Structure 1
Amino acid sequence: MKNINLDSWNRRRQFELFRGFDFPHMSVTGPVEITEFMDQAKSRNFSIFNAVLFTIMKTANGISEFRTRFGGEKVYEYDTVHPSFTVPIADDQFAFCEVVFDDDWNVFDAACRLAKIEGEKQTELDENTSTEDHWIYLSCTPWLDFTAAHHPVASAEDCIPRIAWGKITNSDGRWTMPVNVQAHHALVDGLHIANFYKMLKENLKNF
């Protein structure tokens, strides 16, 4: 992790402006074509959930703004951020599950499988990441091909990005998946989110 010098930071003005807003979080949703990715899923028989989670985290870690956080008067950038995601549990409930991100797919996939097994043993929602911010919060709604989404945040100071993806659909042989990105505007602009979508599409295509 490295501290950012506000005096020389090229987005200091944006940071100061949007941090003062009562509602500083921006949310963007768009479809991502994943035809080549789905072709690979059929032939390689990997976990689609784990693979999408992996490519989203690989993409987020490839954009410095998604690794930047603030607290008090400090702004800092993590070398790596990790996924905290929801898993289904009994009685149509969900629980949180955390995994250390690794850019080796096989290592990450194995860790993700183990973490999901442990997470699914929970009987109720237990919030256990509130003192840490090196996360990306993620959720999947595979039942819904949504066109917009908004995530709850603890306060205007909550600067952890949220990413969600939804139902994968096929139209005339073309597979698409809705992806939502929510981020604190003091740290992330529309250009960074556009870059995220571009990189995510390529990472899924080349998975």
Structure 2
Amino acid sequence: MTTRDRMMPVPRSRKIDLDSWARSEHFAFYRDSLPCTYSVTVELDVTRMVEAVRQTGVRLYIAQIWALSTIVNEHDEFKMFLGENSEPRVWETVHPSFTVFNKRTETFANIWAEYNHDFSTFHEAALTRMNSERSETQMFPMGDPPANVFNVSSLPWTNFSAFNLNVNTWDHLSPIVTLGRHVEKSTQLCMPLAFQVHHAAADGFHVGRFITELQTLFDDCTWLSAKEI
């Protein structure tokens, strides 16, 4: 364990009671009988968010990561993992693992920051991590990621209408989010977002709710200026 690993708190989790869980049958079906992941790509309105970012001077990427992390941490289906004997469990808190790009080598590094519900606190920590690891050439300069992370990546050079990852394991239950380049359309700034998740963990309803709640955070950006950076 490295010094940077020790900066993260020891993760806590709880076991799901399969006898009382409403999705117990759904979990078993998509875990054992028909294991599959699926992805949904949507276009989100980031007009208000981009304007708020310009006024406050915060990093747009970090603001997006905080918003994603906030919604993910509000719903158990996006904090699931497999414990001993492959029983489903839920992390108490999950943290974002995200990519930073090295322009010189044209490679990326995977780093992470501890989630904090206070945006200003999270922004400071994430920005420090990004600045310190930006020139790294290793894929995981901070060492192995903690177990309780979900993945975020960004393609700021590309505006896409569909995106899919072929994950070669049925044990990865946490969501993977990919952000694209925002472009102007009429009076709006629109950004593509791809959300991929294991069907054993979440159904279309859950992803739809996630997208709706994320758009609400993007529309009401008072959290960006609640405390000046």
TM value normalised by structure 1: 0.93
1:6-21 alignment, distance < 5 Å: 6-20=18-32
AA matched with 1:47: R
For the pair 1:122 / 2:117, whether they are aligned, the reply is no
Gap runs ≥5 in structure 1: none
Aligned Cα root-mean-square deviation (Å):
1.7
Tell me which amino acid in the other structure corresponds to 2:87: K
Aligned-partner SS, 2:44: strand
1:37 counterpart residue number: 49
- Hey, what does 1:150 align to over in structure 2? 164
Number of aligned residues: 206
Task: Measure, in 1, the Cα distance between the counterparts of 2:183 and 2:52.
Answer: 16
Q: CA deviation at 1:23?
A: 5.1
User: Residues 27-176 of structure 1: matches in 2 within 5 Å?
Assistant: 27-71=39-83, 72-89=85-102, 90-126=104-140, 128-129=143-144, 132-176=146-190
Task: For 1:162 and 1:55, locate their aligned partners in 2 and report how far apart those are by CA, in whole Å.
Answer: 14
Deviates more, 1:56-65 or 1:191-200: 56-65
Q: 1:12 offset after TM fit, Å? A: 0.7
* Cα distance in 2 for residues equivalent to 1:74 and 1:20: 12
**CA–CA distance in structure 1, aligned partners of residues 29 and 178 of structure 2:** 27
Q: Give the whole-Å Cα distance in 1 for the aligned partners of 2:108 and 2:54.
A: 28
If the length of structure 2 is used for normalisation, what is the TM-score?
0.84
Q: Is the 8 A contact 1:96 1:119 kept in 2?
A: no
| Deviation of 1:143 (Å) | 0.8
Residue 205 of structure 1: how far off its partner (Å): 1.4
- 1:119 deviation in Å? 2.1
1:203 to 217, 221, 227: 217
Deviation at 1:160, TM superposition (A): 2.2
Q: 2:111·2:140 contact (CA, 8 Å) conserved in 1?
A: no
Q: 2:204, 2:74 → 1: CA distance?
A: 16
Separation (CA, whole Å) in 1 of partners of 2:23 and 2:34 = 19
Aligned to 2:6: none
Report SS of the residue matched to 1:20: helix
Partners of 2:91 and 2:124 lie apart in 1 by 24
Runs (4+) of structure 1 exceeding 4 A deviation are: none
Contact 2:29–2:35 (Cα < 8 Å) also in 1: no
SS of corresponding position for 2:22? coil
Q: Deviations over 1:156-192 (max 9, x none)?
A: 1122210011001111221111111000100110000
Q: Distance in 2 between matches of 1:167 and 1:21?
A: 37
The secondary structure found in structure 1 opposite 2:201 is: coil
- Give the 3-state SS of the residue equivalent to 2:100 in structure 1: strand
Q: Distance in 2 between matches of 1:20 and 1:117?
A: 43
Structure 2 letter corresponding to 1:81: V
One-letter amino acid of the structure 1 residue matched with residue 17 of structure 2:
N
Distance 1:180 1:21 in 2: 26
Tell me whether 111-120 or 180-189 shows the greater mean CA deviation: 111-120
d(CA) in 2 for partners of 1:21, 1:201: 34
Q: 1:121 to 1:21 in 2, by over 3 A?
A: farther
